[in-house]
């Protein structure tokens, strides 16, 4: 029950900041998140190595940006994608996504209860959302259920760094002291943006995340951190 209450509080927070989320995100990341998303898509398409893909699922899809990246990068790479599906428990975020990208399909649902058939997706992504999933290990098992054999799970996330470098400490200062004030000013919800550095600090390290993926039946095939280790990309294949 405690886990359920914690998850509900996180969803409510995202409902509250949904109208200003895109503006705050662009200002805080200075647009550099676009390069991370583009790289995630291009590398994943390369690893999957198919010209035709039935379904891509973006979990914790938020306002839909990653779904649009999947679509545009598929077009750039000459890949035909049948369906792109967004899954998110926040009605507020999905409402914004539907206005921005009405051609995609959406489900308001938790990462642990994806309303899709077994082995129906080729690629499943979750960008800056896995740390907000309280029952993370159960979610990874659910990802495996939804993916086809050989399908890819693609994770972009702010990971905890136990031994930060000098640049890593600069990152931590920005995340802890500056970012919450910017996000709080734009959204008028300081608590929501104080949650971000706190959620990173209590989240998994890259090595632990790899172990959790392997325990859920995945083989990690790519792992790299970008921009002073701010963002980490993990790509894993379902065995």
| C-alpha angle 34-87-6 in degrees, rounded to nearest 5 | 100
**CA separation for the pair 2, 203 (Å, rounded):** 18
Shortest CA distance to 206 belongs to which of 164, 161, 237? Answer: 161
Q: Which two tokens stand for residue 61?
A: 């899809």
Number of domains in the chain: 1
Is the distance from CB of 212 to CB of 143 less than 8 angstroms?
A: no
82: which residues sit within 8 A by CB, 6+ positions away? 52, 53, 54, 55
Phi, psi of 64 (to 5 degrees): 90, 0
Which range marks the domain in which residue 171 is found?
A: 2-238
pLDDT at 131: 87
pLDDT per residue, tens digit, the chain (239 aa), is 578 888 888 888 887 777 777 776 666 566 778 899 999 999 999 999 999 999 999 999 999 999 999 999 999 999 999 999 999 999 999 999 999 999 999 999 999 999 999 999 999 999 988 988 989 999 999 999 999 999 999 999 887 766 666 666 776 776 677 777 777 777 677 776 676 666 666 677 889 999 999 999 999 999 998 866 678 999 999 99
CATH number at residue 46: 3.40.50.150
Residue 20 counted as an annotated binding residue = no
- Token pair, residue 128, equals 């800056």
23 labelled binding-site residue: no
**How confident is the model at residue 220, as a pLDDT?**
98
């Amino acid at each position: 029950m405690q886990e359920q209450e914690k998850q509900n509080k996180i969803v409510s927070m995202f409902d509250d900041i949904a109208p200003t989320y895109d503006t705050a995100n662009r200002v805080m990341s200075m647009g550099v998140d676009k390069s991370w998303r583009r790289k995630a898509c291009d590398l994943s398409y390369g690893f999957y190595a198919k010209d035709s893909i039935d379904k891509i699922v973006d979990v914790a899809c938020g306002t839909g940006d990653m779904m649009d990246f999947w679509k545009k990068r598929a077009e750039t790479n000459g890949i035909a994608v049948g369906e792109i599906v967004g899954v998110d428990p926040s009605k507020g975020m999905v409402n914004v996504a539907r206005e921005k990208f009405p051609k995609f399909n959406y489900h308001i649902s938790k990462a642990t209860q994806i309303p899709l058939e077994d082995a129906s997706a080729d690629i499943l992504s979750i960008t800056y959302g896995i740390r907000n999933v309280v029952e993370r290990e159960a979610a990874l098992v659910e990802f495996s259920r939804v993916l086809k054999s050989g399908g890819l799970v693609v994770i972009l996330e702010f990971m905890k760094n136990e031994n930060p470098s000098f640049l890593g400490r600069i990152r931590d200062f920005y995340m802890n002291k500056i970012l919450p004030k910017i996000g709080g000013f734009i959204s008028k919800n300081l608590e929501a943006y104080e949650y971000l550095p706190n959620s990173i600090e209590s989240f998994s390290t890259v090595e632990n995340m790899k172990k959790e993926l392997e325990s859920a039946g995945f083989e990690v095939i790519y792992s790299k951190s970008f921009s002073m280790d701010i963002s980490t990309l993990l790509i894993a294949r379902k065995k």
